[in-house]
A = this chain, B = another copy of it.
Amino acid sequence: MLGLMQDQPLAISSLIEFAARHHHDGQIVSRRVEGDIHRYTYREAAARSRQVAAALDRLGLAFSERVATLAWNGYRHFELYFGIAGSGRVVHTLNPRLAPEQLVWIANHAEDRVIAFDLSFLLLIKAVWRQCPTVKHWIALCEPGALPSDSGIDGLQSYEAWIAGQSDTYAWPVFDEKSAAILCYTSGTTGNPKGALYSHRSTLLHAWAVALPDAISLSARDSILPVVPMFHVNAWGIPFAAAMTGARLVFPGAALDGKSVYELLESERVTMAAGVPTVWLMLLNHVKQNGLKFTHMRRTLIGGSACPPAMIKSFRDDYDVTVLHGWGMTEMSPVGTVCNLKLAQLALEPDAQLAILAKQGRALFGVEMRIVGPDGRELPWDGQASGDLHVRGPWIVSGYFRGEGGDPLVDGWFPTGDVASIDADGFLQITDRSKDVIKSGGEWISSIDIENVAVAHPAVAMAACIALPHPKWGERPLLVVVKKPGAEVSRDDLLHFYTGKVAQWQVPDDVVFVETIPLGATGKMQKNKLREQFKGHRLPG
């Protein structure tokens, strides 16, 4: 027997309509690519989202066709999210940090019909547009007057002209809540990029989950700045959760340097911000070097890669900002865990709390986790046992777009490729990516642990630990280090710095200093490239 409740499919359009009706004057602030600050309200955002939807209807785009964006965090990108998905098409967010040939591969695989891009990516678009035969419409996110006359791109039009003639009263279509809404590609280190295809249902359930007090905690009293890009896993779902709760949104555009982000945090009285460790490092350095403080920001969500404990401690002890360490992946919409203390832990000493806050945190309700050993058997949640992390739940992929990569599930679970432990309180700690673990003499060394020690050294800006083959131990760790500008540290000093911080057999065998460590399109260190680069490096002893 079914219940007798109204049969309302969950729909992304309902988020922006709710925000328009209940938070009509709620502000959305954007630092534009043009350089100035743009302000408007949820009511205006909704009206323009409806114009986007009407403009797509006018182009004759069918249900589920892909409309791609290549854009920074800003109000036009926000409108596109709702206009595209709300009208039944699929938002495909392209990552501008990809190489042109990767971009072409992905646009063709997705069979994008439209690509809307920030003018700052004009050169990139000029380089690729002829190789994207499925794309029939190129739209530059600007006023008509800013449109370059000599772009050479057939039929290029400005976003403002494109939507200008459309009505802002639009009847959003009603359809199956499991319909495709958003397509995000993830580029593994091997094989082709693979597309995670979110639905309206998964997007709304995820939005509820991330807005909860133990996740991001979003309300109509918050002002949130997502530094994490909307071109990468929907800025962790913040645009949707903000519309759901009426939180004030502050978009940083392209200016992600420490100074620009800091100024926006202060001038817009931001209470909560979210980003990856590398961006937050730039912010912290700026604040430290200039003797500044955070007037309004009290919480920041940091994820995308492991946040060094030293950063969490500095935010807390020096700036009274609570770091919420998070973990997730493109295949998880993307948030899986956020680190927030439990009731009994509020009474712990600051150091003991810090040890907990350095973990990736607790699963959101809706995400089931397990860790399994090499034999596939589940391991205990004791904070010690470390194994392959599997997840399942309604906002986790069952497969990839167009079947790429085959069926990823194992007994109904998605294998994350992470190695992790989980403690008795359910706090997840990512030990490593399974492909980055260093297997020395039958024991595992976590490359993340070794890197966390290195970046706590005052002279180290960035560090990567990789495995090199070793005749006796199988593999041994090599530490690759970028020094801070003007700072000095020797190989021996750095190795000595490990004393008492990790077991002696885990200390790297050698250190090499480099100018830069290659980063991927999502800001993660590309250790596969380092392994290639140093494959001939000879370890001492």
Report which A residues bind B (CB closer than 8 A). Answer: 1-8, 10, 15, 18, 21-26, 63-64, 90, 176, 178-181, 196-202, 205, 208-209, 211-214, 217-223, 244-246, 248, 333, 340-344, 346, 362-363, 365, 368, 392-401, 412, 414, 424-426
Asked whether A180 lies within 8 Å of B342 as measured between CB atoms, the reply is: no
B214 touching A365, Cβ below 8 Å: no
Given contacts A222-B343, A363-B22, contact A5 B213 (CB under 8 A): no
Is B213 a contact partner of A398 (Cβ separation < 8 A)?
no
Least CB distance from A396 to B in Å reads: 5
Contact present for B18 and A365 (CB under 8 Å): yes
B218 and A213 within 8 A (CB): yes
Residue contact B343 to A4, C-beta cutoff 8 Å:
no
Q: Do the beta carbons of A395 and B5 come within 8 Å of each other?
A: yes
User: Can you name the residue of chain B whose Cβ is closest to the Cβ of A342?
Assistant: B220
Contact in complex: A213, B214 (CB < 8 Å):
no
Q: Are A4 and B397 in contact (CB under 8 A)?
A: yes
Would you call A2 and B393 a contact (CB within 8 A)?
no
CA A426 to CA B25, docked complex, whole Å: 11
- Known contacts A209-B208, A213-B218, A244-B365; is A179 also within 8 Å of B397 by CB? no
Q: Find the B residue at minimum CB distance from A413.
A: B6
With A1-B180, A181-B3, A365-B245 in contact, is A8–B392 under 8 Å at CB?
yes
Given contacts A8-B392, A25-B344, 13 further A-B contacts (CB under 8 A): A3-B198, A4-B180, A4-B397, A4-B401, A5-B201, A5-B398, A213-B219, A214-B221, A214-B245, A217-B219, A220-B342, A220-B362, A245-B365
Contact residue among B4, B22, B392 (Cβ-Cβ distance under 8 Å from A362): B22
CA distance A198 to B5 in the complex (A): 6
Which of these, B2, B180, B368, B392, contacts A3 with CB under 8 Å? B180
* A463 smallest CB distance to B (angstroms): 33
Complex-state Cα separation, A468 to B178, whole angstroms: 54
**A7 cross-chain contacts in B, Cβ below 8 A:** 178, 394, 398
> Which among A208, A340, A412 has the greatest number of chain B C-beta atoms within 10 A?
A208
- Write out the residue numbers on chain B whose beta carbons fall within 8 Å of the beta carbon of A200: 3
* Contact B1 A179, beta carbon cutoff 8 Å: yes
Asked if B180 and A223 sit within 8 Å, CB to CB, the answer is no
- Could you write out 24 A-B pairs with CB less than 8 Å apart? A2-B178, A3-B180, A4-B180, A4-B197, A4-B397, A5-B199, A5-B395, A6-B393, A6-B412, A7-B394, A7-B398, A18-B368, A23-B342, A24-B424, A25-B425, A211-B212, A212-B218, A213-B213, A214-B219, A214-B221, A214-B245, A220-B343, A221-B340, A248-B343
A5 touches B394 (CB 8 A): yes
- Copies of this subunit: 2
Given A22-B362, A365-B244, A424-B24: A4 in contact with B220 (beta carbons within 8 A): no
CB of A338, distance to nearest CB on chain B (Å): 11
Partner of A396, one of B1, B5, B15: B5
Question: Which 8 A-B residue pairings sit nearest by Cβ, starting from the closest?
Answer: A3-B199, A1-B64, A22-B426, A213-B219, A208-B208, A5-B202, A4-B197, A8-B394
Chain B minimum-CB-distance residue to A245: B214
B5-A343 in contact (CB<8A): no
Shortest distance from the beta carbon of A6 to any chain B beta carbon, whole Å:
5
Given A22-B426, A179-B2, A197-B4, residue A220 in contact with residue B211 (CB < 8 A): no
Asked whether, in the complex, the Cβ of B3 is within 8 Å of the Cβ of A179, the reply is yes
Give the shortest distance, in Å, between A397 (CB) and chain B (any CB). Answer: 6
Distance in Å: Cβ of A410 to nearest Cβ of chain B: 13
Chain B residues within an 8 Å CB radius of A198? 3, 5
Contacts known (A178-B3, A362-B22); A10 close to B394, Cβ less than 8 A:
yes
Q: How far is the CB of A452 from chain B (nearest CB, A)?
A: 25
Please report the C-alpha to C-alpha distance between residue A144 and residue B202 in the assembled complex, in whole angstroms: 47
Cβ-closest chain B residue relative to A399: B4
Q: Which residues of B contact A26 (CB under 8 A)?
A: 342
Q: Return chain B residues, CB-CB under 8 Å to A394.
A: 5-8, 10
Output the nearest chain B residue to A202 by Cβ-Cβ distance. Answer: B5
**B-chain residues with CB within 8 Å of residue A90 when the two chains form the complex:** 1
Which residues of the other chain, B, contact A205 by a CB distance below 8 angstroms?
A: 208
Asked if A4 contacts B398 (CB within 8 A), the reply is yes
CB of A208 within 8 A of CB of B199, answer no
- Complex Cα spacing A260 to B396, Å: 46
A460 to B423, CA, bound (A): 56
* A343 to B247 Cα, complex, angstroms: 8
- In the assembled complex, the Cα of A490 lies from the Cα of B412 at a distance in Å of 73
